[in-house]
Structure 1
Amino acid sequence: MATVQPQLVFVDGSFNELAQEMADYIHVGDEVKTLIEKDQQDEVLKKIVLASTALNSVPEKEFTPAYNLLVYLIMQSKNANMLLSKVCDNLMKPITSSPTNGPGLALGALTNIFNMLPPDNEIRYHVFSAIVRFVKHHGLFDYMKRYLPKLDQWVEEWDIDEEDQRKMFEEIAEVAKDAGDEEASYDYVLKAVRTFAEEDIKSEEAQRLSLRAIKTAITSPTHFDFQDLMSIPAISALSDSNHVYFELLEIFAEKDLEDYNDFNEEHEGFLEKEHLDADKLYRKMRLLTFASLAASTSSREIPYKNIAKALQIPEEDIEMWTIDVIRAQLVEGKLSQKKQVFLVHRTTYRVFGEKQWRELGDRIDGWRSTLKTVASALRKEQVSAEAAKKRDAEELERKLAGASVMDGGRTMGGDRGGRRGLGDRPPPKPRNDDDD
């Protein structure tokens, strides 16, 4: 559905000439000729569109150009919306001339219709809805998925009401579910739930979609964050209208395996009645409990016995559950067989409320105390090092001073070993003539 200029077979000629060519091509030329002579453009288009189902049987190489020309003619009408809806309906039917490539040809024609319309034309919404239905019927979700990031912008351009948005989002969720893309399905169910205004959050439709969102979230093997659900008004409204489901959601959002077991005892048979897979839910609660245990451990070391108790498993299964919780990206760490503990490197908070703020505050206070101790020790070491340096300098200075004194005694103060110095020599004896 990228915005490209579609290929047109006939690009020259007036409306009447092109309409007559199309009418002749689908074998209604004589009927249309009279209407053209009377300059009844809308009647001409109605006649052509009614007969346009014949295009589904034309040769494969002519299919796309013929449909493009049909759409080009319809775009000249003030009633294009109604006429294009009929064309979209035609494209939902089998392409008999090409059983193998037919779905691709039809989807290409629908895409061309979408692209030929101005971005802010609300007809685009109806064409897109037809594309969603076509994709669902033929299992072509991967084709549509690449365009979904643009959908929010398109919805804004179309300026459609909340009900139409909700209908479209739910259709996309269904297509994604059928294609096995649980994450995309869940995202669009949430988009649908968020469309309810405050006065409608307790409506039957709101409750239906809210329950669907909860079921999808708690049963998904890859979804572990439930705060997005808890913040939606329509979901919160279930605390009054369907408190059991809301209680189950709260357990998955912020509680542990023990609470889940208490829920099952209190509401025995509820999971079976709602067709919820008890084994999958039990496994998921164990992983979430492991994450909570890791997040609440200030020492960053969890003894094996604590893990076994919280998950209600034998210690020999700890390694398996550790692998699973790391694979789910809830926790990062490693096992220490020697110390019999799990060393936590990183963990994910399931909920971040008042309790978690207190835990974080306590942890920061602990870090602050540790840093103060380290800083104090560093300062003492620095003072000690500076004192030692000063002592070494003084010692060196003393030694140098002593060496200087000793050297002076040997050269100027005489020889203490019995030899006389230069200053101790007797004066020279006077000479006379007898000395010769």
Structure 2
Amino acid sequence: MASTSVQPQLVFVDGTFNELAQEMADYVRIGDEVKPLIEKDQQDEILKKIIVASSALNQVPEKEFTAAYNLLVYLVMQSKNADKMLPRVCDNLLKPITSSPQNGPALALGALTNIFNMIKPDNEIRFHIFSAIVRFVKQYSMFDNLKKHLRTLDSWVEQWDIDEEEQRKLYEEIAEVASDAGDEHTSYDFIVKAINTFEKDEVSSEDAQRLALRALKSALLSPTHYDFSDLMSLPAVQALADSHAVYFELLEIFAEKDLEDYNDFNEEHDDFIEKEHLNADLLHRKIRLLTFASLAASQPSREIPYKLITKALQIPDNEIELWAIDVIRAGLVEGKLSQREQVFLVHRTVYRVFGEKQWRELGDRVDGWRRTIAAVAAALRKEQANAEAARKREMEELERKLTGAGFEDGGNRRGGDRRRGGGDRDRSDRPPPNPRGDDED
């Protein structure tokens, strides 16, 4: 199948409509019947005859199959009533290809895909062809061939501009095919898509409640589905509180309550799980994992003592490690066990429901972080002030020492000058020597 960004593929043929129609009629052995209609240029009547006889194409040799169907589709596309004729061609392709039992399904799917790609993306006929492909894939268990194109389906649906009922029917068919193929995740996603097609005044209708209950059961019985907030937000699911009160009560437990509430439910509604053919072991394991997640999210210290785990999960001490591994594998909690401290250290956890209580808990935690950060900042400021004061004292001490050393050296230099100056003055005061060298009387 082509994506929305790819232009439809074209079949290249040579000849007029009447020439090609006669060729096709001869190929399916109704040439004599069609010839008078061709002479009268009755295009739609010609096509009706050929389409009725086209089931014979399922018996042609394998090497001719694709070309024959491409020519047939090309002829049908020339009619203004192609939207009424193509579904009949698709119906033929849903029947066995007797000429190639082994490769027949792949050939037929290829022909259906070619038909889909030959139609303009915004043509509503594409919707009917795609529905035929979904039915074919279901019939021959070829879901993998369809799944890779489902990511483009939303844009196709928007282009086709089909109504809510047609969308709902298509989504439900895809959910069925995915479920048959064992892909419960995709099946659940398309059930939810189908539920979302109901208007507000339709959410309590029989169809809406049927799909809502189906989605609820699918979510409960999925071994990997732990987030029920998406279901709880759907009006059609909320309406189950009136139409299927016990189921809705069970959903509420898995959405936001714990093992103790689940046990109370089983006591109050004896044998409900068994009577509804729900998997008791799976549900019991899932509610324990969810209880572990809630326990992790509710601990401000991010440490869960072993005794709280054993009490909440109702397990012996020697099973704590196994459940810790399981809850981490489920992606509900990240953390590790501390055997020395006998606690589970929570690194990260998910909230099963985020309401007023969770906002308060988050607010308290943020306040705690704010106080911690403020205390750390105050301690840093104090240490910074102490370091600055110590540095200042060191500088003052160094300056004092340098100043003291400078005064002492200066005094010594001045004293020496005075001594040298005094000696000069002594020599100048002495009488001049006697030139004759005689002693005075």
Same fold per TM (> 0.5)? yes
**Contact 1:85–1:127 (Cα < 8 Å) also in 2:** yes
Paired residue secondary structure (2:415):
coil
CA distance in 2, matches of 1:313, 1:340: 15
**Contact 1:6–1:116 (Cα < 8 Å) also in 2:** yes
Aligned pairs for 1:313-392 (under 5 A) are 313-392=315-394
Among residues 137, 142, 145, which one is paired with 1:143 in the alignment? 145
Among residues 117, 120, 123, which one is paired with 1:118 in the alignment? 120
1:167 equivalent in structure 2: 169
Superposed CA offset, 1:341-370 (max 9, x none):
111111111111000000001001111111
1:132 aligns with 2:134: yes
Structure 1 residue runs of 5 or longer lacking an equivalent are none
Q: Does the C-alpha gap of structure 1 residues 358 and 434 become closer, same or farther in structure 2, counting only changes over 3 Å?
A: farther
Deviation at 1:193, TM superposition (A): 1.0
CA distance in 2, matches of 1:280, 1:424: 115
Paired residue secondary structure (1:342):
strand
Deviation at 1:423, TM superposition (A): 3.6
Q: Does the C-alpha gap of structure 1 residues 406 and 21 become closer, same or farther in structure 2, counting only changes over 3 Å?
A: same
Superposed CA offset, 1:152-196 (max 9, x none):
111111121111111111110111111111110100010111111
1:48 equivalent in structure 2: 50
Deviation at 1:425, TM superposition (A): 2.7
CA distance in 1, matches of 2:221, 2:335: 26
CA distance in 1, matches of 2:223, 2:66: 43
Query: Which stretch shows the higher mean deviation, 83-92 or 421-430?
Result: 421-430
2:401 equivalent in structure 1: 399
2:29 equivalent in structure 1: 27
Aligned pairs for 1:170-181 (under 5 A) are 170-181=172-183
CA distance in 2, matches of 1:316, 1:399: 71
Deviation at 1:4, TM superposition (A): 5.6
**Contact 1:6–1:68 (Cα < 8 Å) also in 2:** no
Deviation at 1:412, TM superposition (A): 2.1
**Contact 2:8–2:120 (Cα < 8 Å) also in 1:** no
1:189 equivalent in structure 2: 191
Aligned pairs for 1:20-99 (under 5 A) are 20-99=22-101
Paired residue secondary structure (1:96):
coil
Among residues 199, 202, 218, which one is paired with 1:200 in the alignment? 202
CA distance in 1, matches of 2:85, 2:18: 18
TM-score by length of 2: 0.95
TM-score by length of 1: 0.96
2:310 equivalent in structure 1: 308
Paired residue secondary structure (2:41):
coil
CA distance in 2, matches of 1:381, 1:287: 46
Superposed CA offset, 1:23-53 (max 9, x none):
1111111111111112211111011001101
Superposed CA offset, 1:119-174 (max 9, x none):
22211111111100111111111111111111111111112111111111111011
> How much is the aligned-residue C-alpha RMSD, in angstroms?
1.6
Paired residue secondary structure (2:101):
coil
CA distance in 2, matches of 1:265, 1:163: 41
Paired residue secondary structure (2:169):
helix
Q: Does the C-alpha gap of structure 1 residues 219 and 431 become closer, same or farther in structure 2, counting only changes over 3 Å?
A: farther
Deviation at 1:5, TM superposition (A): 4.9
Among residues 413, 423, 426, which one is paired with 1:425 in the alignment? 423
Alignment identity in percent? 71
Q: Does the C-alpha gap of structure 1 residues 20 and 412 become closer, same or farther in structure 2, counting only changes over 3 Å?
A: same
Paired residue secondary structure (1:376):
helix
**Contact 1:64–1:105 (Cα < 8 Å) also in 2:** yes
Q: Does the C-alpha gap of structure 1 residues 139 and 4 become closer, same or farther in structure 2, counting only changes over 3 Å?
A: farther
How many residues of Structure 1 are paired with residues of Structure 2 in the alignment? Answer: 431
2:222 equivalent in structure 1: 220
Paired residue secondary structure (1:106):
helix
CA distance in 1, matches of 2:8, 2:242: 53
